[in-house]
Structure 1
Amino acid sequence: MRGSILIADDESGIRESLTIVLQDEGYHCTAVQNGKEAIEAINSKSFDIIISDLKMPKVDGLGVLEHALQHSSDTLTIIITAHGTIETAIQALRKGAADYILKPLDFDEVLIRVENLLEQKKVIQENKYLREQIDQEYNFNHIIGESDAMKRVYKMVERVSGATSNVLITGESGTGKELVARAIHFNGDRAKKPFLAINCGAIPEDLIESELFGHKKGAFTGATSDKDGVFVAAHGGTVFLDEVAEIPLNLQVNLLRVLQEREVKPVGANQNISFDTRIISATNKDLAKEIENGTFRDDLYYRLNVVELQLPSLQHRREDIPLLAHHFLQKYNKELSQNIKGVSSEAMSAMMAYEWKGQVRELENIIERAVLLSDNDYLLLEDLPSAIREVADSETMEMDTDTLDRAVRVFEKHHIQSMLRRTEGNKSEAARLLGIDPSTLYRKMERLGLSE
C-alpha cells in the first residue's frame, strides 16, 4: 500500500472519481461527504494526506485543515478550490496547507501532487529521525561516565551550551574532544544549524587557508569554482577547529583577524563576507609551551580560550572503565552481530589496572577487536592484547562483575589503597594523584569502609 488518503468533498462525483483514481494507483482511500465527518475520521485513524474541498457543509476545508494541524501534525493537507476562491486557497497555504488544486480537477495532476507530497513527507520524517538520533547521540547526558571528573565536564558543557563564547577543549588524544564539542553545539540554540569539524593537522599547509577562509574561482591552480570556507559555510552554527595548534604561524594572524571582525576574505576575493558562527577549538598540546616556543600566538590563544574545558584522562576516571567497556560491548555486539554477554572478572580487573595511553579511543578499539574475535559467551582475559594480559600477571584484584556497581566499588577500594600505600598514608598527596579533592577522598574512604 503506497499511502493512506482521506478525501472530503460534498460533491459525490468528485469524491467517487478521486477514490477510484487513487485506489487504482495503490493508495488506501477513505471518502467522506463533509467537514464534520472528515474530523471524525481524523480522530479515529491516521492519514498520510487529506484532500479536502474548501467549501463544504457543517465544517469547511479550513476547519478540517486546522483540526488536522492540531491533532495529526504529520498529515499533509491539499485544498480543492474553485477559481473564484483562489484568495482563500492562498490563505489556506499560509495557515499550513501543503498544496491546493483548482477545479475542474485534472486527475493526472492530482496524482503528481500526491506523489510529490508523499516524497516530501518521507524526507521530513527521515530528517526528523536523523535529528532525534543526533540529539540522542550528542546529548551530554549520554556521554559515558559517572566519575566526579566527568560530572564536572557535564556541568561545564551544560553551562557553555547556551552561550556564544569561544571554547577551547584540552586533553590527551582519545579523550573525546570532538564528542564534547558536538554536545555543546547540539544542546545549544544553534543545534538546528550546521556543525562543521575541521582537523587542522590533517590538511596540507597550502590548502588550509582555502579550507578556513574559502576561495574564488581561479585564485590558484585547481580552484575551478568559488568555495565557502568553514566559517561562512557554518553560518548560524558552529565550527570545530580540532588540533588548532597545528595551524601554521603565518595563518594565525589571519585567523585572529577573522575571529575579531567576524568576517572573512576568501583567497582571491576583493570583499569580506560576514558570518555568525561559534568557534570551538581543541588541542592535545600545552599551548602555553607552544607560545613560549614561538609556534603559537598568545593573542590568538586568548581569543580562542574564552572558556577552557579540560577533559580528564582515563587514568583520572578509572571508575568509568566498566561503564565504558559495557557501552562499547553493547555497541559492537549490535554492529558486528555478536551476542557476548559481558566481561569476565579477570578481564575487567586487567583493564582497570592497565595504563590507557590511547585513552577512551584505545579502550573502544580493544573492545571492538575482542568482540569481533571472541568465540566465548563472555570476554575473557585471553581475548585482550598481550600488554593488558601482562598487567593481569602483576595485579591481583578479586572482582565480581556480575554487577557494574560492585565492579566499580571494588576497583575504587583497590586503587585508593594502592595510592595510600604509594604516599605512605598521606591522604592529601593521594587525593592529588587521584585527581580529586581531599574531602572527596575522605567520603570515598568512609563509604568503602577503609580504616584510617
Structure 2
Amino acid sequence: MQKILVIDDDKDVCLLLERFLKRQDFDVRVASKGKEGLKMLNEDVPDLVLSDFKLGDITGGELLKEVKKAHPSLPVIIITGYSDIKVAINVMKNGAFDYVTKPLFPEEILNTIKKALASAGEQDDVVEDTVKVETTTKEKAAKKKKKKTGYIFGTSQASKNLVNQINLVAPTNFSVIIHGESGAGKEAVAREIHHRSDRRDKPFVAMDCGAISNELAGSELFGHVKGSFTGAVTDKTGHFEMANGGTLFLDEVANLSYDVQVSLLRVVQERKLKPIGGTKEKAVDVRIIVASNEGLLAAAKKGKFREDLYYRFNEFEINVPALRHRDKDIMMYAEFMLDGVNDELNKSINGFSDEVIEVFKTYPWHGNIRELKNVVRRAALLCQSDMIKVANLPYELVNHDHIHFADSENEQESNPNFLRSNSTKEIMADLIKPTHHSRMPADLKEAAKEAEAELIVRTLKEVNFNKSKAARILNIDRKTLYNKIKYYNL
C-alpha cells in the first residue's frame, strides 16, 4: 500500500483528504503544521507529499525546499488556495511535481497523484486500481470537500458558476452584494471571498443587521465613546474599526434604519468614521460585502433602502442559488454533514438508504442548507443502525408531496384520515378523481382543459404518482404541475 503524507493547517481539509485517499487504498498520514510534517517525513518516508501552500508555521514553498534537500526524488504536490501563476511558477521551479488549486476536485487530485507516483517509478498498475472506482464513489468523495470557511462547493453547474464568480471578484477590492434565500449560505460565500483575497490575513467581521435594534446599530457599526448616551459606560470599538484592513460583512443590510444608512454612505464614500459622541475622525480601510434575501434594488425602489447606497455597494453582485436548484449537490452536502454529526455523536453511520436519497432529491428544501443540516442531525440522532432510513426522517419531509398536494387546511380537515394513510399511492388515488363527463364539452377551450387534466392524471398513474417524473414527462416544472393539479381540482 502506497503512503501519502497530507500537510494542511485546516483539520477539516486533512480529514476529508484522509478519508478520500484511504478509500482509494492509500496509507494516509496527516500533519497540521509544516514542521510536524517534516518530522513525520523523516521518521517514515512516504511515497508522496500533498501539502497546502499556506501553513501555520512555514510556507509550502519552504517545506518543499526542505523535502527536496532530504529526498530529491520524492514527489510533492502543492495545494494553493487561489489561482496564482506566481505561486505555480515558484513551486514548480523549486521542484514540486505539480500543483492543484482550491476548490479541490477528487478526480483532479487522484489523477495528479497517479502521474506523480508513476513518474517516481512506482508501480503504475497499483495507481490504476485506485482510479477504477465507481462513479458514485467519486461523487461521494467530491461532495466532502470543504473550505476553511465552512462552505462546500458542489459539482452542479450552478455551484461551478458560483465558484467562478467568487474567483473572479475575490482578488479585487470591489464591494459585493450577495443575494440569496435564507439558509443558502450567503455568509459562507462572503467568508470565501475574504479567504481568497489579499486581505485573508486580516479580520473578517460579520454583523447581522436584522438582529440589532435601530438604536444600537450605529454604535455597533461605528463605535461610541464613554458617556455619549445613556448606558455608554465605556468606549466601544465598532465593527468598521474591528475589520480595519480586512472585510466587513453586513447581513440583511436592508434592515438598517434610514439614519444609519446615511451615516454608512458617508463612511463608505470617505473611508473615515467618527464614533458616536467622538470628535476625531478615524481612517478605515475596509472591504464591504453586504447580503440580503430580498432584492436591494427593489427595496430601493420602494424607499426601504437608499438608492445611492445600493449603487455604491453594487460594484459586483452574486446570487447564491437555492439548494433545490442544485439538486446534484444535495447528497454531497448531506454526506458531509453526516461526517460531522458522526464525530459529534460518536457514531459510525455509513450513509443514507436509497429511499432517503430519493426523498432528499425530491424535497424542495425551502430552508436550504440550514434545513438540510438540521434534518441530517436529527436523523443521525434517531438512527440506531449503520444507515439512515426513512423512519429516521421527519414526517413532513417524507410526506411532503401529498401534504403539499392538498395544501388547503379545509381539504385536510375534511379528510381526517389524510395524514394517517399508509400509502402515498393510496392517498393520491383518493385525491385524484377525474370527472368523466357524459356530455360533450361546451367549446374547444373546455375540451382542451379536459384533455389536459386527463393527460396529467394518466401520466401521474404511469409513474406511480412521482410528480418529479411526471413533470419531466409533461415537459413542465414541478411548480406548474402543482398549480395545474390545484386548478383542475384533481
Give the structure-1-normalised TM-score.
0.58
Q: How does 1:94-243 map to 2 (within 5 A)?
A: 138-139=147-148, 143-243=152-252
Query: Paired residue for 1:423?
Result: 475
1:289-438 equivalences under 5 Å are 289-391=298-400, 394=424, 417-423=469-475
Moved more, 387-396 or 192-201: 387-396
- Retained in 2: the 8 A contact 1:216–1:225? yes
Q: Deviations over 1:168-202 (max 9, x none)?
A: 11000000001111111111111110000000011
SS at match of 1:196: strand
Question: Which residue matches 2:296?
Answer: 287
Write the distance in 2 (CA, Å) between the matches of 1:189 and 1:415. 48
- Structure 2 residue identity aligned to 1:421: I
CA contact under 8 A between 1:353 and 1:395: conserved in structure 2?
A: no
How far apart in 2 are the matches of 1:373 and 1:274? Answer: 53
Q: 1:432: Cα distance to partner?
A: 12
Long gaps (5+) in structure 1: 1-43, 46-69, 73-135, 397-413, 425-429, 434-452
Instruction: Tell me by how many angstroms 1:417 deviates.
Output: 5.0
Report the secondary structure of 2:299's partner residue: helix
Q: Deviations over 1:181-236 (max 9, x none)?
A: 11111111111100000000111211110000111111111212222211111111
Displacement of 1:418 in angstroms is: 4.2
In structure 2, do the counterparts of structure 1 residues 379 and 353 end up closer, same or farther at CA, with 3 Å as the change threshold? same
Aligned length: 284
Do 1:149 and 1:317's aligned partners in 2 also have CA atoms closer than 8 Å?
A: yes
- CA–CA distance in 2 between the matches of 1:71 and 1:359? 46
* Conserved? CA contact 2:186–2:291, under 8 Å: yes
8 Å CA contact retained: 1:178, 1:242: yes
Matches within 5 A, 1:2-151: 138-139=147-148, 143-151=152-160
Moved over 6 A (4+): 430-433
Q: CA deviation at 1:419?
A: 4.0
Amino acid at match of 1:423: N
- 1:421 shift after superposition: 2.9
CA distance in 2, matches of 1:333, 1:369: 12
Q: How far apart, in 2, do the equivalents of 1:335 and 1:420 lie?
A: 40
CA distance in 1, matches of 2:296, 2:305: 7
Amino acid at match of 2:299: E
| Cα displacement (A) at 1:395 | 8.5
Distance 2:248 2:384 in 1: 43
Change (3 A) 1:355 1:142: closer
Write out per-residue CA displacement over residues 32-77 of structure 1, whole angstroms, 9 at most, x where no aligned residue: xxxxxxxxxxxx99xxxxxxxxxxxxxxxxxxxxxxxx969xxxxx
Correspondence 1:260-271 to 2 at 5 A: 260-271=269-280
Segment drifting more, 288-297 vs 358-367: 288-297
In the superposition, relative to structure 1, how do residues 278 and 137 fare at CA in structure 2: closer, same or farther (>3 Å)?
farther
- SS of aligned partner of 1:221: coil
Distance 2:155 2:200 in 1: 25
Offset of residue 381 of structure 1: 0.3
2:468 and 2:398 mapped to 1: Cα distance? 22
In structure 2, do the counterparts of structure 1 residues 209 and 140 end up closer, same or farther at CA, with 3 Å as the change threshold? closer
Q: Secondary structure at the match of 2:210?
A: coil
**2:205 alignment partner, SS class:** strand
User: Deviation per CA, 1:324-350, whole angstroms, max 9, x where unpaired?
Assistant: 111111111111111111100111111
Flag structure 2 segments of 5+ consecutive residues without an equivalent: 1-41, 44-64, 68-144, 402-422, 427-465, 481-490
Once the two structures are TM-superposed, the CA of residue 388 in structure 1 deviates from its matched residue by 1.5
Report the CA distance between 1:151 and its aligned residue. Answer: 0.4
Superposed displacement of residue 420, structure 1? 3.4
Mapped partners of 1:151, 1:374: distance in 2 = 33
Determine if contact 2:204/2:248 at 8 Å carries over to the other structure.
yes
In structure 2, relative to structure 1, the CA distance for the partners of 1:361 and 1:141 (3 Å cut) is closer
The percentage of counterpart residues that share the same residue type is 41
User: Aligned partners of 2:195, 2:314: CA distance in 1, in Å?
Assistant: 20
TM-score, normalised with respect to structure 2? 0.54
CA RMSD of aligned residues (A): 2.9
Q: Is contact 1:165–1:307 with CA below 8 Å preserved after alignment?
A: yes
The CA deviation at 1:139 is 4.9
